[in-house]
Amino acid sequence: MRSTLFLTILFTGSLLTFSACQQESVPSQPGLPYQSSFQRDSDGWVAGITDYGTAQDSIMEFRAAYKRLPAPLDTTRKSLMLESMNRSDDAFMFIKKKVTGLQPNNDYSLLFEIELASKYGTNSIGIGGSPGGSVYLKAGASAVEPVKELKDGFYSLNVDKGAQNNDGTAAILLGNIGAGDDVTDYKLITRTNTDKPFTARTNAQGELWLLVGTDSGFEGLTTLYYSSIKVTTRSIN
């Protein structure tokens, strides 16, 4: 099936690509730095959701799609849309992508610059927490592929992305998704880690898996549009 065909998919447990291709056919990105504004396609990113129990499998309402930015933004621009209902009070919606062609077993210092569309006020009030202030954006990388795992009736990630607003070894906090005070329409916001570079070590094949996601304390529906992801790097060794 041609990679230019895209699907909006409702699913209840598996990872999915934004294209109609199978997950194993998703291309990796040769080398770093990396940048995409998703104007031609989803650029090989794969979406998933974790941090919830099997009893909530059918009610998370998770969707991922390659689609236009919402109004009143520039609707000619494309983006990666992620959406879910946070039934567990801890849902982690994420996208991942493999990059190749790096030095094997080598440490890299990574700087992320992520642009996304959010309509959630930083000072807003919601169930469990603020829709803007209690949904935390994280980014990082791992030598092993981030994979959704099931243990004792709970879905979690096999790498340490940290809990809520805490850093993990595979991802760090870039801020929340608050778009400003008293926001009701979608706005483009940018989050970076220029003040704290993230260090990741490649595997023996010179590969890294990029990881971007939101750790939510807001017990409601969150819909976000990733419009640009940029990763710059330098070798530490």
Answer whether residue 51 is part of any domain. Answer: yes
For residue 105, count other CB atoms closer than 10 A to its CB: 13
Q: Where are the beta strands (DSSP E) in 42-106?
A: 46-50, 52-53, 62-68, 78-85, 92-100
Taking only the tens of pLDDT, the chain with its 237 residues reads 333 333 333 333 334 556 433 333 344 556 799 999 999 999 999 999 999 999 999 999 999 999 999 999 999 999 999 999 988 878 999 999 999 999 999 999 999 999 999 999 887 654 545 676 779 999 999 999 999 999 999 999 999 999 989 999 999 999 999 998 888 899 999 999 999 999 999 999 999 999 999 998 776 899 999 999 999 987 676
Answer whether residue 123 is part of any domain. Answer: yes
Name the pTM for this structure.
0.87
Tokens of 142: 């791992």
Strands 92-100 and 29-30: parallel
Residue 34 pairs with which residues in a beta bridge?
Answer: 231
How many structural domains comprise the chain? 1
Answer whether residue 154 is part of any domain. Answer: yes
Q: Give the domain CATH number at 15.
A: 2.60.120.200
231, 237 Cβ separation under 8 angstroms: no
Answer whether residue 2 is part of any domain. Answer: no
Answer whether residue 162 is part of any domain. Answer: yes
Answer whether residue 52 is part of any domain. Answer: yes
Answer whether residue 1 is part of any domain. Answer: no
Answer whether residue 75 is part of any domain. Answer: yes
User: What residue has token string 């009143």?
Assistant: 72
Q: What is the domain range of residue 142? A: 9-235
